[in-house]
Structure formats: structure tokens, C-alpha cells
A and B are shown apart, each in its own frame.
Chain A
Amino acid sequence: MVTDWLIHAGLVALYLFLAMVIGLLFMGIARKITARIQNRVGPPIYQNFLDLGKLLAKKTNIKHNWIFDFAPLFGLGGVLLILAYLPMGGYIMLSGQGDLILLLYILAIPALGFALGSGASGNPNAGVGVMRALTLMLSYEMPFLIVILSLMIFYNTASLSVLLQKQMNYLWGIAALPISALAADIALQGMMAEKPFDIPIAPHEIASGPLVEFGGKYLGLLMLYSAGSIVVETSLFVDLFLGGGIVLNPTVYGTLAYFVNYLVWLALIFVVWMIAIFVNAVFPRFRIEQAFKFYWKWPTVIAIAGLVQAYVMSVFLGVVP
């Protein structure tokens, strides 16, 4: 029993570590690809590891007060917590112990910590940046929550692990609810704060917004946070709509299945990330109220269409996955 727990904990730690590495690597790949789109060579893909190392090895660090420390602490701790609750490559981690709604609310922990820290810097740019980030959150959550609702209604579960199970046995979410998947992907762009929705950190207006006063190890840990967030957000989409990348049933194939599923999952989150990056490279940014209007208009309509589909299928047609 205790050994089981220890093995489980060790595996979770391994997965979390890998997730961080993947996040940093993805950031590097994104930089490289953006550079290629811009006719440049771009940095090596391991550049972000160097950046992170440099930031952590800075000789001096400043803070404004003790609340400032909330940002790196909650940012990193929170993002790891979210990752622990997200199934990665079919390995359900802790997600058997907490469902999607818990996950939705844990998502707020690192963001809130970050917002507290940047608010404590006393810089107006940070205040405006957080205001924009929160408004953006209100914007994209509208379609995203409706999408999650349609999934939960259709699959009749709020638990991610059960959702994966049902997707494996029945159909991937993207096949069953393609309209919702579309809305979710649009919402994902806002969730990742990539263009056209990167107004919270717009450097030309508010000098990188909430990040304005962070430097050294603070910035380093926040970089880890954003690396983790990339995995969280892409993986969330993959878990919700692409079956978490499960192609082999673990109960049948055992360890091999975990290995293969992990690779498939990795490929899928890479694809999701790439879509975001390509869109990011060729769009200017919306103003915040335009982003708000945009999200509460078309993606919401699409999401509601998806909800109607899920509702009709599950209530009137009696489809039970």
C-alpha cells in the first residue's frame, strides 16, 4: 500500500518534471518557428533552458514587499498542482481524486498568485495588465465553460479520468462534438494569451504588463510557470477532445501502452501548440473590449450550438457513450 503510494508519487514527480521540460522545449520550438516565419534563423530550441538558468543564476534580485513573493510561489506551485491533476498520456495522476470542476478552480491558483505579486509591485502597467488578463479570462471562459458543460452533459461525467475512459471506449470528443471542439480551440487561443489575444502583456502599450517589475529568479520561476501553463492548456484540450492521446488500452497492453500513449499525447499537444503558434505569428492583437465582444459573440454562439448538439444527442436521442 505504502509502496504503491510511493511509486505513484514518484511517477507523478517524473511526469511533472517531464511536463516542465516539454513546456520549455515548446517555448523554444515556438521561438524557432516564429523566427522561420519571419525569415530568420532563430535561437536554438534549447535557448529557453539557458534563459531560465541565467535568470535563476542572477546575482541580485529585488522585490517590493512580501506579497511580491506570492507570484513565483503560487505560480510555480499552482501550475505543478494543475499538472498533477491533469492526465498526461493516459496516466491519470491525481485526476481520479478530483474532477474537472476542481481542475477549473485550481487553474485560478497560479493566476491569482501571479496577479497578487504583480499587483504588489505598485506599477500601473501591472495593474492594467492584470485588469486586461482578468477581462480576457471572463471573455474566453464563456465559450470554454459552455464547451466543458457540453462535454460533461454528453459524456455524463465530470471526472477527467472517466472522460478519458469513455472517449477511449466510445469516440474522441472531437469526433462526437466537433462544433464544441472548434469553440474550445478558439477559447484556447485566449487562454494561452497568444495573439490575437495577447493584450494583457502587450509590450508596446504597457511594457509587458504584469511582468513589468519581475526580474532575476522571480522572472525565472514565472517562466517555469508559463512553460507549465503551455502544457496545461494544450493538454487540457487534448484530454477533453482528443482522448488524452490514448490509443492503446493500458489494461490490455500495460507499460507499453503508457509509453505509446505518452508519445501520442506529446504529438497531439505539439499539434495543438503549433496551431496556436501559427495563428500567433500572423495576427495583430485585439483590444481588450474587442476581444471580449469577439468571445461573447461568435465562439459563444458556436459553443452554444455544440451544447445544443450535446443536449439533443444525450437527452433526446439517448446516446450514451
Chain B
Amino acid sequence: MDALTLFGIFVLLPLVGALVSYFGKKYAPIIAVIFTGISGIFLYLWYGNFGSYTIDIGVKLNLTFDITTWFFMLMMNTVIFSSLLFSVSSKLKRAGGFATLMLLGFAGANGVLLARDFLSLYLFWELMSWSIYLLVLRTSGEYARRYLLFGVLSAYLLIMGIGIIYYYTGSFLYADALSGAIPHAIWPWILTFLILGFGIKMAIVPFHVWAPYAYSSEQPFVAFLSGGLSKLGAFGIFMSMYSIAGISLLQSFGTFRGVSLMGYPFALLGAATAFIGTILAIFQDDIRKLLAYSSIGQLGYVMIGLGLGTPLAIGGAMFHAFNHAFFKSLLFLGAGAVIYRTGKYKISEMGGLGYRMPFTFMFVLFAIFALAGIPLTSGFISKWMLYEAAISRKFVIVAPLMLIASVGAYLYSYRILYGVFLGQLKDEDKNVKEAPGPMLAAMFILMVPLVIFSIVPGWILGWINKILVENGIGKLNYTTFSYSSAIGGANMAVFWIAFILLLIFAMLMFMAKKARVVDQYDNYLAGEAPPSVALHAAHNYYKPLRDTWAPLLKHSIDRAYEKFSKFFAGGFYEIKRIYTGNPQDYAAYLGIAFLAFLLVGWWLLW
């Protein structure tokens, strides 16, 4: 294997696929599935076949295929494969364009994962970003503009970071960054720019505002965006902190109970993100927005792990990123299946679909187990690792926020379950059918790893351990079925055996007698039975909680941005008159931001 093969299979092949599927018309998704399948097969075959290839084409570029890349590519590939599989039967408009853009994004993502130099990183990053922009644009221009605002901001921040490094080292290679050319005092700036730049893709508070809008686009794409592409942010942060800078450099900024002072603020930011994202998710009625805020919250956990930087924490972050890729795309696909069948977005307008779509319900239920961290899925183990990482180092701010956010996750998961799948089946949904086969297959593919890695966590912990060892971070304590930290541990084999035995016992108690199935309207209505009755209590579900939070929710970051941009839109009214064009309010904001960053960069460099 050489650089070209690597590049060919993982970047060029999707690009070719993009070209082909553009003309595929309604078969475009199938073609795209085949192309992603091929690269998936190579991914499977090439496990262990790692290598690093430097190419000199005037500037030195580097492509590396190592365990970190492989691990992230695994998520990316599975997620896009099932998303495209899902879209086969979801009858999208202009399916050719959709498949093309998805594959472009996929190529960009693979490029980012393979790149070990800033130039290709930035090019592929832009390729990915712009295909996301166009994909969001398919649904709504307004959403796309909001995404673009932050996408461009992210790109600026990256340029700042890269520019500073290049200014000092004169090389784009990651490996050259640590050569000592960069003064020690500059590193915090570089890291801040890079982490924030990548963090925007992860929708870290306060840069999360774009996510709820972008995540309201077509579900197969959003599944890929939330499940796959947002992990590039995690990958980027991981690379910049632990590969480019390295743990010893981080530690040299001073430590707080063994955690670098460079990382700890980001862990706090992550904890805040987890908390805020969760709280906001509880109050959403639009299923897409709910999942979007949940996504924000869950990626906050990843951020915590990356910030803390102990082996357990980073392992937890990797594992959580992996889990999140699977359960969140599964949730978005489940939501997509429901939306496809009913055409509704509001949770309160659905209800009772679990009786009509049992398989979708089961898959979503498993995703929710993973989301809530129920030990029946691997979602628990990653959360466990993050908790133990924080608690064993006695972090008393991060740990409670994380713990309470995970309780909050129960609240919004139940909102999905109750609002969409349980409760009253509306009369107009009486004839809803189960989702089509490809959709179910896509969801099934995503569900399997969640269960498997819960029973055998050792397998995935093996890969993660390798990543940690390779980057010189440390190693994890695990066996095939169990895992442990300095303060505790758990054995999943024992858990599963006990669970299955006791469930069988409960079943024996339960199955002794058959129960009669009654109609949903043969229900406790205090003796009344009106001809038609609305029983679905899903609208404004957490109203008491919302009322208590109302004074705080008033100060939403979302609205702060809007006010900010309105302020500038007002200020730039004169420009509007001078130029014939029609500069949007966001444009004004962009300009100011660009100027500000230029000024900061200029001040730093000279």
C-alpha cells in the first residue's frame, strides 16, 4: 500500500462515486451505498495495515493511516453507509444531488482523518464544510446561513492557528510543529484557536447555535452530520492536543491535580455544554431540535474527556464519540422513519407509533438506552469511564454537572419515547405502516455494535487502548468482559448473566397467564367515554420544569446572537444603501469577526 492507494480508496473513490451518482437519478443512493460499501470493505481489510506517507509536491504533505484514523473512519463509514442505505427508500427530492453531496462530505471527512499536515487538513475541511452547507441549503436557506456563519468562523479560527504555526515553523506537517520553533508562550493561543475551531463543529457552547437549525434538515444527512461529521471536531481536538502538541507540552503549562491547565478549562466548557445542551433538549417539542440539543449535550461529554486528558478520560471520550456516532445517527434515522411515515415533526402531534412501528421502536429504544447510559448498551461504559476519570481525580465541578446532565438525559429520552412511540395513537395515524426494509436494515446495522460492545467491551477498549498507547497518553485497565479504574470497575459478563437470569425469572412469574388486549379507548376516563377524546399529554410535557427554569431560559445564547446581529444590521444600514447588493445581517457580523481576528492575529505575530 502506498499513499496513492490510500488516497485513492478513501478520498478519490468517494469523489468518483459522487460524480457517478449525480447522474444516477433515483438510483443515486444505491450507487452511493455501493461506493461507501467498497471503501468500508477496504477499511475492514486494511486493519493493521497501517503506515505513514509523506509526499513532497513543493510543500511537504503527509497522509497517515493509523489506528486513530481507522477508528474514526470506522464510525464515519458505518454511519454514512447506513444513512445512505436509509435514504434509498426515503424518496428524497433530487436524490442525485443528495448522494453526490453526501459522498463529497464523506471524501472530505476521510481526507481530514488521513491528513497529517495542515494544508490538506484545511482543504478537506473546507470540502466537508461546503458540502454540509449545500446539504443544509437543500432544506432551508435560513438554516444554511446560520450554519455558514459558524462554519466560516470555524475556518477563520483554524486559519489563525495554522497560520501561527506556519509562521514559526515554515512547514505544514504536524510532526514539525513540536520541533521547538514555536515559542512556549504562543502555544496556548494556537491550541485555543484550533480547539475552538474544531469545537465549533462539535457545537460547543457558546458556538452551538447553528446546530439546532442545521440538524433540522433531511434526516439521512443529519444522521451523518451528527453521527459522523461532528466527530471530526473531536478528532481535530484530539489531534491538536495530544498529537500535535502532545501531553508533555500540555503538562508544561502547569497542572491541576494531574490535569493540564490547558485542558481543564475546556473540560469545564464541556461540562457546561453537557448541562446546557441537556436542559435545552428537555424543553423541545420538535423532535429534530430535541435531538440536536441532545447531540450538543452528548458532545459536551466528549469535550470533557478530551479536556481532562487522563488515559481513562480520553478513552472515555473516544468511546463516547463512538457510541454517540451510532446511537445518535440511529435516533435521527428513527426520527426520519417516523417523519417519513407520518409527515410530522412535532412530538406532541405524534403518539402511539410504537404500536404500529414495533421494529423502529425497538431500535430507537436501544439507542435511547445508549443515550441514557443504561448498562444494556455500550453507552453506559463510555459514561462510566468519563465519570471515573473525573471522580478519581476529585473534580468537584465537572463531575456533578456530568452526572446531573445524564439524569436530564432520562427526561428528554422519555419525552421522545412517550411523545412519539407511546401514548395515544391518533386517528389519522391508524394506518401507519412499519418503516420500509432498507430503513430498518440501516437502523439495525447501527444498533448491533451498541449491544455487542456492551457485552464484550474488551474489543473496542482494545482499539482505544492502542490509540492511547500510540499517542503516548497511557493505557486502560480492561479485560475482555470487564474494565476498571483506580477507584472501581465493573464486569459486564456478570451483569449480563444476572440480568438475563433475573429477566427470565420475572418472565416466568409473568407468563403464567395470558392477558386480554383491549382497545386504547377502553381506558380509565373516570367512568366517562366521550366519542372522541384527546389523551396524548405530550404538548408542553415538562411544563412545571420549564416554568421553574423560565427566568434563566430567557437569557438564551441564541437570542443574544440575534440581538447582536440585529444591532449590527442596524449599524450597517448605511452600507446597505451604498452598495447595490443586499448584505445580510450575518454578513456584517462576519466582517466584524474577520476584522477582529485579523487584528488579534496581527498583534500576536508582530
Contacts and interface: CB of A to CB of B under 8 A. Distances in A.
A62 B524 contact: no
Contacts of A159: 487-489
A125 B524 CA distance: 9
B537 A131 contact: yes
A102 B490 contact: yes
12 contacts: A61-B513, A63-B518, A66-B355, A73-B503, A73-B506, A99-B490, A138-B408, A153-B391, A153-B396, A158-B392, A292-B545, A314-B394
A67 B423 CA distance: 11
Contacts of A137: 407, 410-411
A38 interface: no
A99 B545 CA distance: 31
Nearest to B362: A67
Contacts of B524: 123, 125, 207, 212-213
Nearest to B485: A158
Interface stretch (A28-36, A141-149, A169-177, A271-279): A141-149
B261 to A, nearest CB: 17
Given A122-B352, A207-B524, 17 more contacts: A67-B361, A72-B506, A97-B494, A98-B491, A99-B487, A99-B489, A105-B383, A122-B535, A123-B524, A137-B411, A138-B411, A141-B407, A142-B404, A149-B400, A152-B391, A157-B487, A159-B489
A288 interface: yes
A74 B535 CA distance: 25
Interface in A204-250: 207, 212-213, 216-218, 221
Contacts of A213: 523-524
A134 B414 contact: yes
B243 interface: no
A97 B516 contact: no
Interface string B376-398: 10001001100110011010100
Interface in A90-115: 94, 97-102, 105-106, 108-109, 112, 115
Contacts of B375: 102, 105-106, 109
B355 A97 contact: no
Contacts of B167: none
B419 to A, nearest CB: 9
A157 B489 CA distance: 10
B578 interface: no
B396 A102 contact: no
B479 interface: no
Interface residues of B, number: 76
Contact of B537 (A115, A128, A217): A128
A27 interface: no
B517 A62 contact: yes
A293 B404 contact: no
Contacts of B517: 62-65
Contacts of A60: 516
A130 interface: yes
A134 B410 contact: yes
Contacts, number: 230
Nearest to A218: B515
Interface of A: 56, 60-67, 69, 72-77, 80-81, 84-85, 94, 97-102, 105-106, 108-109, 112, 115-116, 119-125, 127-128, 130-132, 134-135, 137-138, 141-142, 145-146, 149, 152-153, 156-159, 162, 207, 212-213, 216-218, 221, 287-289, 292-293, 307, 311, 314-315
Contact of B490 (A62, A98, A112, A122): A98
Given A77-B505, A137-B407, A112 B374 contact: yes
B515 A63 contact: yes
Contact of A102 (B361, B384, B403, B515): B384
Contact of B374 (A56, A108, A156): A108
Interface of B: 352, 354-355, 358, 361, 365, 372-376, 380, 383-384, 387-388, 391-392, 394, 396, 399-400, 403-404, 407-408, 410-411, 414, 417-418, 421-425, 482, 485, 487-491, 494-495, 498-499, 502-503, 505-507, 509-510, 512-518, 520, 522-524, 526, 535-538, 541-542, 544-545, 547-548
B388 A101 contact: yes
Contacts of A64: 517-518, 520, 523
Contacts of B383: 105
A289 B547 contact: yes
Nearest to B385: A101
B544 A289 contact: yes
Nearest to B402: A145
Contacts of A135: 411, 542, 544-545
A62 B524 CA distance: 12
B548 to A, nearest CB: 5
A120 B422 contact: yes
B189 to A, nearest CB: 32
Given A63-B517, A123-B524, A84 B391 contact: no
A76 B505 CA distance: 9
Contacts of A56: 512
B520 A122 contact: yes
Contacts of A120: 354-355, 422-423
B502 A81 contact: yes
Contacts of A69: 510, 515
Contacts of A146: 400
B414 A130 contact: yes
A134 B548 CA distance: 15
B498 A152 contact: no
Given A67-B361, A80-B506, A101-B384, A153 B536 contact: no
B389 to A, nearest CB: 11
Contacts of A102: 375, 380, 384, 490, 495
A94 B513 contact: no
Nearest to B278: A138
A164 to B, nearest CB: 13
A105 B372 CA distance: 9
A307 B403 CA distance: 15
B506 A288 contact: no
Contacts of B410: 108, 112, 134, 137-138
